[in-house]
Chain A
Amino acid sequence: MASTVAATQGSVAVRKKNRNRPFVQGWRRFSRNRLAVAGLAWVALFFIAGIIGPWVAPYDYRFGDFLAINQGPSWHHIFGTDNVGHDMFSQILFSIRSALVVAVGATLVSFVIGIVLGLWAGLTGGIADAVIMRGVDFMMTLPGFLFALILVVLLGRGYWSLILAIGIPGWAGYARLIRSLVLGMRNGEMVEAATALGASRAHIARRYMLPNVIGSMAVSLAFGIPGDLAQIAGLSIFGMGLQPPIPSFGNMLAQAGDNILGFPWLLYFPAGIFAITLLSFLFVADGLQEAFHPKGGR
């Protein structure tokens, strides 16, 4: 953590000269990392597919062609069809959308809760700080997945329920990160000066602290999204993911397991694309980490 704080304070000094410097420098370092750039390209493609998927998908995700079940890849169905004649290519396109909606949504939910509680703990200290940090310790002792599993039972298996079920237990890491960043800066000269000028706490947090922690937050978000993507799929393995017929990677992985030897293409594409996507996200996150905290990584 010490290096994070040091790096952030370093960027404060640079910012005084030129507002955009840290981001320009960060991008320069990021773009030198070939894996990270490749990852970014794939992630961009994934997002585009998620947005335009429903328009380019050759078939509706509910459409099952009963005359063409369990077919291998062909010109009609480039990724083949499953046991009720769903076109796998279309299924994957819709899965990308559902995966992104839930993963990005859940990450944002965790993030917003984490920011609010982290800022609160860091800025006020005292009892609020003690209580919030006990909460963080509590959440950290057990995997968020366990909480997510139970929350899904309560909330159901729709989009919103999954976003909340995965998002709510995930706040602790973000809260701890933001609190530590705030504490690192709270006693800094910049904040002292602003306080002396009569700036309110909310103003200091927004105007001086937030801009300085964006790098660290981008890194933790970039690590958070693939984590949540994996959690959604993990929930499906327990039969607790998105309710079919909404297509999702988890359901495809879970279902295809039964007839894998006969119809392997049912797994090649979903598992392959899912794995590449998670990898890409992590390469991007790793690249961001190096770009914003060059001392921390290599």
Chain B
Amino acid sequence: MAVAKFVVKRFVQIVITLILVMTVSYILMYYSPGGFMHTTVMATALAPLQSQNPVLYQQVMDQFQSRYGLNLPLWQQIVKYVWHTLTFDFGNSMQNPSLTIMSQLKQTLPVSALLAFGSVVLSVVVGVPLGITAALKRNTWIDYVVGTVSLAGQAIPSFVLAVLMVLLFGVVFPGILPIAGWGSWKDAVLPVVCLSAANIGVVARYMRGSLIETLRHDYIRTAKAKGVKYWPLILRHGVKNSLTAMITVVGPQFAFTVMGTIWVEQIFGIPGLGKVMQTAFTSFDYPLAITSVFLLGSMIMIMNLLVDILYALIDPRVKL
């Protein structure tokens, strides 16, 4: 029951935050100079019409405005867009008016989700053992190498790493792994690696710190004294208890992976969310931009919620 109450409370918080963020974004875009019809592409296309037939041009503009509700007062526009987005009625984007945003998302969202999920799995599978190794071999060269490498992973953003990977596998060692496109599992390897680098670093660093902290506790000494063998001691008493501390720190980090997905997709030419969202903001595509804000925001916050629930499941001391 407590869990249900907690989830409902957090869910309400998430919705309120989303409404706030969408409203702020809308107001900012509304007051931005320019508009979809004034972007370079549209303006050039409409320029002949504007000079030859100003009346028709005005009609086109008016029709466009009323189609997207841009002729309404600002507060009505906000209510309209926020409400429609919250009810998953995203409408049609301005750049691609024949397709609903929903149908575009249905094609692209699974791709991005797959990349993000793959990255989470890889980061845990690689990061946790690295962190454990570093903690057990503390202050040896292994520890320093792991520390430096994980710092490097954190320092270099996924899109820079992606560019470096493209160079490595496209120019230096061509033919081993595909550097662009989407089709087989091989296409996912490099993007997932790029997305994971930072997370592996964070997971390894926190796993190390947390395990060192845990192994200092008295119950570890007690377990050792009563004759628990080395690996069961480390794994069952040490690692299990330090995972909880790690999850709180690392959880939000994963949430931001969603953001990185969009960058990395651009570089590897993967038809994911990034492709849909890329031009939303530059071309003042209101419906698409608000949808992007909504999607990114809700994915990140839901991810954080899941982490909190997971935390409570693992650590019985934590009450939601």
Contact = CB atoms under 8 A, between A and B. Distances in A.
A and B are partners in one complex rather than unrelated chains: yes
Interface of A: 35, 138, 141-143, 145-146, 149-154, 156, 226, 230, 233-234, 237-240, 253-254, 256-257, 260-261, 264, 267-268, 271-272, 274-275, 278-279, 281-283, 286, 298
B13 to A, nearest CB: 9
A257 B269 CA distance: 10
A257 B166 contact: yes
Interface in B143-197: 147-148, 151-152, 154-157, 159-161, 163-164, 166-167, 170-171
Q: Name the interface size band of chain B.
A: 35 or more
B311 interface: no
Given A154-B32, A278-B160, A260 B166 contact: yes
Contact of A154 (B28, B163, B304): B28
Contacts, number: 117
A226 B160 CA distance: 13
Contacts of A253: 159-160, 163
Contacts of A150: 24-25, 28-29, 281, 289, 293
13 contacts: A138-B17, A142-B21, A143-B300, A146-B297, A150-B281, A233-B160, A237-B266, A237-B267, A240-B281, A260-B170, A271-B160, A275-B161, A279-B152
Interface in B233-265: 256, 259, 263
B157 A260 contact: no
Contacts of A257: 163, 166, 266-267
B18 to A, nearest CB: 10
B48 to A, nearest CB: 26
B33 A275 contact: no
Nearest to B30: A154
Interface centre among B139, B284, B296 (most CB of A within 10 A): B296
A268 B164 CA distance: 8
Contacts of A278: 155-157, 160
Contacts of B157: 230, 233-234, 278
Contacts of A153: 28-29, 32, 281-282, 284
Given A237-B266, A239-B279, A260 B155 contact: no
Contact of A261 (B20, B152, B171, B296): B171
Interface in B171-230: 171
A254 to B, nearest CB: 8
A252 to B, nearest CB: 10
Contacts of B284: 153
Given A146-B259, A271-B163, 19 more contacts: A35-B148, A141-B301, A141-B304, A142-B21, A143-B256, A150-B281, A151-B28, A153-B28, A226-B155, A230-B160, A233-B157, A234-B157, A239-B278, A254-B266, A271-B164, A275-B156, A279-B151, A279-B155, A279-B156
A165 B160 CA distance: 21
Contact of A234 (B31, B163, B263): B263
Given A141-B300, A278-B155, A298-B139, A146 B293 contact: yes
Contacts of A142: 17, 21, 296-297, 300-301
Contacts of B256: 143
B7 to A, nearest CB: 16
A149 B281 contact: yes
Contacts of B154: 282
Contacts of B21: 142, 146
A253 B166 CA distance: 11
- Of the listed residues B31, B160, B282, the one surrounded by the most CB atoms of chain A closer than 10 A to its CB is B160
A137 B32 CA distance: 27
Closest 3 CB pairs of A and B: A282-B155, A230-B157, A264-B171
Contacts of A149: 281
A101 B32 CA distance: 24
Interface in B110-154: 139, 147-148, 151-152, 154
Contacts of B293: 146, 150
A275 B17 CA distance: 35
A282 B147 CA distance: 12
Nearest to B278: A238
Contacts of B155: 226, 275, 278-279, 281-283
Nearest to B24: A150
A139 to B, nearest CB: 10
Contacts of B29: 150, 153-154
A229 to B, nearest CB: 9
A256 B160 CA distance: 12
A145 B139 CA distance: 36
